[in-house]
Amino acid sequence: MPNENSATMDPGTVLEELAQVAQQIQDQMQDAWQQPVLDGPVLNSMAGGLLQALALFNQSLLADPGRLMQAQAKLWEGYAQLWQHSLAALAGQTPPAGAVADRRFRGTDWQLPAFDLIRQCYLLTGQWLLEQVTGVGDLDPATRRKLTFYTRQFADALSPSNFVATNPEVLRATVESGGQNLLHGLRHMLEDMQRGGGRLDPRMTDPGAFEVGVNIAATPGKVVFQNGLMQLIQYTPVTDQVYRRPLLVVPPWINKFYVMDLQPKNSLVGWWVEQGYTVFMISWVNPGPELAGKSFEDYMIEGPLAALDAIEQACGEREVNAVGYCIGGTLLLSTLAYMAATGDERIKSATTFASLLDFTEPGDLGVFIDEDQISALEGKMAQTGYLDSADMATAFNLLRANDLIWSFFVNNYLLGKDPAPFDLLFWNADATRMPAAMHSFYLRNMYLHNRLREPGGITLAGVPIDLSKIAVPCYFVATVEDHIAPWRSVHAGALLPGGKTRFVLSGSGHIAGIINPPAAHKYQHWTCDSLPTNPEEWRTAAQEHAGSWWPDWKFWLGRRAGGKVMARMPGTGGLPAIEDAPGSYVRMTSHKE
């Protein structure tokens, strides 16, 4: 935090304090190096896989020296054109640059000739590096994906926006504050390293701006059931009548359920309640070592199947509609296949948000999936009983490094500013652990071997799972910019169930494309009444609509929700209230105190 006397500090005092804080950071780093966050086998498998990929890439380049020479000539030609453009700009012969799409360089100072040249040289070189990786024709897809991913990480890290001397906004702040921005930034860095136990854990938002159950995850309701893996929340109705069939929501257990219940203006839960649904939300526990043996099938049995029994006790209704988000959707469709095999017809429709069933193309997460990396991760989980939330968060943040890592590096450490309050980033930082047995099963059977799409490819609770046996209507939502569940892969999964399926594509990404209330008038969505097997054919035939996809889904679900009945108050049926929503499980954190 800024020093109370920082406004009157002279340059010598600033330099002295900079040196002191820098020494504290160095000491913290030395302590962290003595107890590495990642075990040796994990680091070795990641590094070994990358080095192997680089070796294959070098072999491809050396096998075609002519192509390499052409690429180098193209790069130098680009530099020459930039230099000519810069000289012309200095002479006033070219108009000022227009708006810059890249968020890193939107400030007006980046349009000054010197910094504009630095920016354009960086962008040209970064694009050239990526073209060398993507342009090599004899690399297998996995190697190309890995090289592309790490090349992008390398290029992002070397952005001139990340360095004091080449970021004009930071230079201006340093001159205007007498270097106090750097002092505040180093203090922020020290605080983040201390909070992360030696791991640099940049704050993405003001943690004091939100409190779970107060101004976030605050839709009224009661916990009406719980077991060792989850609590079941029944939300308080706001309409006199509700649809007969309740809505069971299966959220991901990678992060917490309240991404669907942020603030009133963007709460999907609140919107459901307003539409007249009796909403039951699963809130997963944040597991510790005592749950190391919990498997994917345990999540099915103690999650949606237990919730169905509880819903019948709570409101006397056997038939429900169900929703699953991300891995929650993967679990929901797996459960539906299990229920189809066992003759259980309680779920009458299923909706999935950005969920994978076919993992042929898992997107950038595929970079972390191979036998060596999974084996190393299993070795680490065997020691703790779970995958640490920080490891999971790091992997997801790397998928959008500029937005989720480097933007905060610049804001917090170079500019010395506090991060702004942002509900979505508060949720993103409230990470969860993964039980060892479940996570190993998930990585191996879904990502590595892609067995869920195969009839009988996996077995849950002694029942072979066949998605084609699912006969209930399904509604699949994908998002066009999703790095976690690529929309074409979601489309491939939508072809697997045997019932009638509607596939909808939303603008934006994995979170913003789903949590997009109609009142916001943001993004767009595409719909098509047919479902061609080729995703590009579907996209060509689809019709674009402005705004949120929620109204389309409202119409689809409303036809399957049953007639209206009197509203059901949580805790007044067969299950008494245990505690107020959002419950105690969601308040379990993974942070080291």
Burial of 154 (0-12, 13-18, 19+ CB in 10 A): exposed
- For residues 287 and 314, the answer to whether their CB atoms sit within 8 Å is no
Closest residue by Cα to residue 491 from 362, 364, 358: 358
Distance CA 268, CA 276 (A): 13
SS3 for 244?
Answer: coil
Distance CA 217, CA 513 (A): 19
Kindly list the distances between the CA atom of residue 584 and the CA atoms of 11, 291, 434, 453, in Å, as whole numbers in the listed order. 49, 17, 18, 36
Q: Which helix (H) or strand (E) holds 494?
A: helix 487-494
Distance CA 179, CA 15 (A): 8
- For residues 232 and 282, the answer to whether their CB atoms sit within 8 Å is yes
- For residues 461 and 301, the answer to whether their CB atoms sit within 8 Å is yes
141-157 vs 40-63: helix axis angle to the nearest 10? 100
Closest residue by Cα to residue 76 from 128, 13, 142: 128
44 CB neighbour count, 10 Å cutoff: 13
Radius of gyration of the chain (CA): 26
Residue showing tokens 């999964």? 493
Report the phi/psi class of residue 264: left, alpha or beta, with left for phi > 0 and alpha for psi in -120 to 50.
alpha
Q: Is the peptide bond before 289 cis (omega within 30 degrees of 0)?
A: no
Please indicate whether residue 315 is annotated as part of the active site.
no
Among 121, 315, 326, 474, the active-site one is: 326
Distance CA 438, CA 129 (A): 38
Token code pair at residue 3: 């020093």
Token code pair at residue 436: 């060892």
Distance CA 449, CA 114 (A): 51
Token code pair at residue 353: 């948000």
Token code pair at residue 564: 């209206």
Q: Could you list the active site residues?
A: 326
